[in-house]
Amino acid sequence: MNYVSKVLAVIDKDVRSEYRSKYALNSALLFCVTSLVVVSFSLGGSVTDPRLQAALLWIILFFSSMMSLPRAFVKEQDCGTMNTLRLTCEPSQVFIGKMIINLLLLSVVTAIVSPLFFILFNISPPHPGFFIITAASAAVGLSAVCTLLSAIVAQARARGTLFPVLAFPVLMPVFMVAVEATGKSLLPQSPWANSQLLVFLACYAVVGIVGGSLLFEFVFNE
Amino acid sequence: MPYIIGTFIFTIMSGVLCGAIWFTPPAKVLGETARVIYFHVPVAWISALAFSMSLWQSVQYLRTNNPEHDIRAEVSARLGLWFCVLATITGAVFAKAAWNMYWNWDPREVSITILLLVYMAYFGLRSAVSDPETRMRLAAVYDILASFAMPFLFFVVPRIYSSLHPDTVINSRGSNKILDHRMLLVFFAALIGFTLTYFWIYVLSIRVERLVRAREESDE
Amino acid sequence: MASCLESIKVESVTKRFGPNQVLDGITFDASAGESYCLWGPNGSGKSTLLKIIAGLLRPSKGKISYCASGKTGAPLTFRNNIGMSAPDIMMYEDLSLAENLDFLAKARALPRDARFEDELMDKFSLSGVKGRQLGACSSGMKRKFHLVCALAHKPSALLLDEPTSYMDDAGRAGAEEIVSSLKKDVILIVATNDHAEKAWCEAAIELRIKSAGGNR
């Protein structure tokens, strides 16, 4: 219980300061909405292949997370509070806290952007449950890996470009499987025959969390 | 002693080169183009070996904080990257000859692309961190993180992209049926020769890297 | 206080940044009740040494060990015993002072002494601005608040880097009063160029600028 409340302290602090500035959420949402509008303007109703639609949705979500997730630690570094965290918190406490913050951010963005996407592309998802599980388990893996990478990038230069470069190859498996599973969920026939895709995403999430928290200590402590 | 080893490796490699061109017969299914396997497969094997070595040395670095391990990890990653590029090129040339297309997103092409991206990102990260100790630490962490993602990649890619790769054609029906003993001889000689060459370059590069770093430290 | 620190051992600590040697074989031993001043010109490595002692930087060579009730370990394993204030260690500017203190207390999950916190805040006349966002405070107030944050969890090792810079006279007097009242129980290490702060400490460790070109 003690540990849980220590993690909650980190989350609480970040939620408060994000609530005041709304910087990360606003920039991610603005990016998503802009790119969504650009994509639907340029393609209109011509994209009817579910797999292509799924790919477009995930490209938008992926790049918006490339913009908003690195902020978790870049902000701490830039505001000079990284050392405060080091002096106050255990590494795993910080990792779990920041991961949950990133997960919340990603969930809010996905929950707003996907319905918009479905409306603009005139899709009524036949299997919303499958899609939601796909998005949720992909988001967990994504936020675990991005949290670790955010801590890496915070200590480097040229973070804005470095982050997607580092993230893309590592997140590739999640990305491909998420596109595949989302594509299946947009087809009329039942996608549950492909539930091994969900198992895959869940495994990736578990490895991401365990590996991330193991490696985080080396990034966080000098 | 280094000269003896050098001459030995040179002899093997020239033997492999001549053997691959004149000694072996053309393959039954793929014809003359199949001669690329004497180079393509060893080169791909070396890059896998070098990347594994880099991973191992990164783990050792995080355990011991000894910069020597970082030198080895970096040198291995660099060699791995070069051999990976060679494997990509030899593969693409063969693909052009066999299917008239340099690139067709076969699973191995996808995997090798991602491997290239991982290690390009690795060197991108190295050059973006100015403090040497931080650089070594972060690079090692990224190396290990990337290796966590690799099994997923090898699991998922073949399920999504369909394969054209000839080794499934060669291996699945038992290699001795299609590769005759002369081909096998040259093939394994090539594997050994390339592996020895790799270790030779590896040892030399480590020595160079040590000198480079010592100079960086004592400069100014 | 969790368990009291008995001593901090600094064993031949060396630090280099690339080609620049900053610290060269610093060794000393500080026990509870002792106070040391790190003294030397700008660039002699005072702040670096303090960060190394706190475990925020890794020494190139050498070792720091903390010792508490028979256990020894690296600095950050005793993070709840460390109170540190330095010009480049910030608190959260978009949170209010009270929220900052809340965060520190909850994140550490130590028993909290609200009366002691209030006392500290009063001493620096910050009680009136508790609800203000830290970003809206002046530099002097921030420095005072950083000192409050360093002391709030009653650490047994106080690592202070120019603790009273930017402070007004009342703040300096308050800081001196608090530190001298705590001094007998804690390990106090102050890095400073200020004679008044130096006077807080019983002993001084002189640091010099190393000649360029490393140690060869």
List pLDDT tens digits, range B34-61.
788 888 989 999 999 999 999 999 999 9
pLDDT, tens digit (0-9, with 9 covering 90-100), for B175-194: 445 567 788 888 888 899 89
pLDDT, tens digit (0-9, with 9 covering 90-100), for A157-190: 888 889 999 999 999 999 999 999 999 999 988 8
Nearest to C19 among B131, B133, B219 (CB): B219
Distances (CA, A) of A144 to A31, A97, A212, C82: 22, 11, 6, 30
Domain around B25 = 2-219
Element of type H or E holding C151: helix C139-151
Nearest to B218 among C17, C60, C214 (CB): C214
**Which class for A109: exposed (0-12), middle (13-18), buried (19 or more C-beta within 10 A)?**
buried
> What residue in B sits closest to C18 (Cα-Cα)?
B217
How many domains does chain B contain in total?
Answer: 1
Distance from CA of A19 to the nearest CA of B (A): 31
The answer, yes or no, to whether residue A24 has pLDDT greater than 90, is no
Instruction: List the subunits that have 3+ CB pairs under 8 angstroms with C.
Output: A, B
* Separation of alpha carbons A175 and B170, rounded Å: 32
Say what the pLDDT of residue B174 is: 45
Q: Which residues of chain A neighbour C59 with C-beta distances below 8 Å?
A: none
Domains, in order of start, for chain C? 5-92+155-206 (3.40.50.300)
Provide the ipTM: 0.92
The answer, yes or no, to whether residue C212 has pLDDT greater than 70, is no
Say what the pLDDT of residue A137 is: 95
Secondary structure class of C187 (helix, strand, coil): strand
Q: What are the structural domain ranges in chain A?
A: 3-220
C94:A88 CB<8 A: no
Say what the pLDDT of residue B162 is: 62
A87:C103 CB<8 A: no
DSSP conformation class of C69 = T
Higher pLDDT, C215 or C15: C15
C109:A222 CB<8 A: no
* Separation of alpha carbons C192 and C205, rounded Å: 11
A:B CB pairs within 8 Å = 84
Distances (CA, A) of B67 to B122, B135, B140, C208: 17, 11, 11, 28
> What residue in C sits closest to A15 (Cα-Cα)?
C95
| C20-31: strand order across its sheet | C20-31, C5-17, C61-68, C71-73
Q: What radius of gyration, in Å, describes the C-alpha atoms of chain A? A: 18
> What residue in B sits closest to A181 (Cα-Cα)?
B160
- Torsion of the alpha carbons at A32, A37, A40 and A43, rounded to the nearest 10: -110
Residue A4 tokens, joined: 């849980």
> What residue in C sits closest to A10 (Cα-Cα)?
C107
C19:B132 CB<8 A: no
Confidence of residue C116 (pLDDT cuts 50, 70, 90): very high
Say what the pLDDT of residue B132 is: 87
SS3 labels along chain B: CHHHHHHHHHHHHHHHHHHHHHHCCCECCCEHHHHHHHHHHHHHHHHHHHHHHHHHHHHHHHHHCCHHHHHHHHHHHHHHHHHHHHHHHHHHHHHHHHHCCCCCCCHHHHHHHHHHHHHHHHHHHHHHCCCHHHHHHHHHHHHHHHHHHHHHHHHHHHHHCCCCCHHHHHHHCCHHHHCCHHHHHHHHHHHHHHHHHHHHHHHHHHHHHHHHHHHHHHCC
Q: Which of A83-92, A127-136, C9-18 has the lowest mean pLDDT?
A: C9-18
Q: Which residues of chain C neighbour B65 with C-beta distances below 8 Å?
A: 58
Distance from CA of C45 to the nearest CA of B (A): 17
Mean pLDDT within C5-19? 88
pTM for this prediction: 0.91
Say what the pLDDT of residue A2 is: 86
Mean pLDDT within C53-68? 91
Find the farthest-apart pair of alpha carbons in chain B and give their distance in angstroms, rounded.
64
A162:B153 CB<8 A: no
C107:A10 CB<8 A: yes
pLDDT, tens digit (0-9, with 9 covering 90-100), for C44-54: 999 999 999 99
B216:C18 CB<8 A: yes
Residue ranges of chain B whose pLDDT lies below 70: 28-30, 161-179, 219-220
Name the nearest CA neighbour of B61 among B143, B148, B183: B143
Mean pLDDT within C72-82? 90
Q: Which residues of chain A neighbour B62 with C-beta distances below 8 Å?
A: 218
The answer, yes or no, to whether residue C1 has pLDDT greater than 50, is no
pLDDT, tens digit (0-9, with 9 covering 90-100), for A48-93: 888 899 999 999 999 999 988 998 899 999 999 999 999 999 999 9
Percent share of chain A, pLDDT over 70: 100
Whether chain B has a CB inside 8 Å of the CB on A168: the answer is yes
Chain B residues bordering chain C (beta-carbon distance below 8 Å): 65, 131-133, 216-220
Element of type H or E holding C176: helix C169-182
* Separation of alpha carbons C194 and B62, rounded Å: 40
Instruction: List the subunits that have 3+ CB pairs under 8 angstroms with A.
Output: B, C
Say what the pLDDT of residue B29 is: 67
The answer, yes or no, to whether residue C215 has pLDDT greater than 70, is no
Name the nearest CA neighbour of A41 among A114, A112, A109, A120: A120
Say what the pLDDT of residue B12 is: 85
Distance from CA of B202 to the nearest CA of C (A): 25
Mean pLDDT within C82-98? 93
Q: Which residues of chain B neighbour A176 with C-beta distances below 8 Å?
A: 156-157, 160
Mean pLDDT within C104-121? 92
Say what the pLDDT of residue C211 is: 65
Residue C131 tokens, joined: 């609800």
Whether chain A has a CB inside 8 Å of the CB on B59: the answer is no
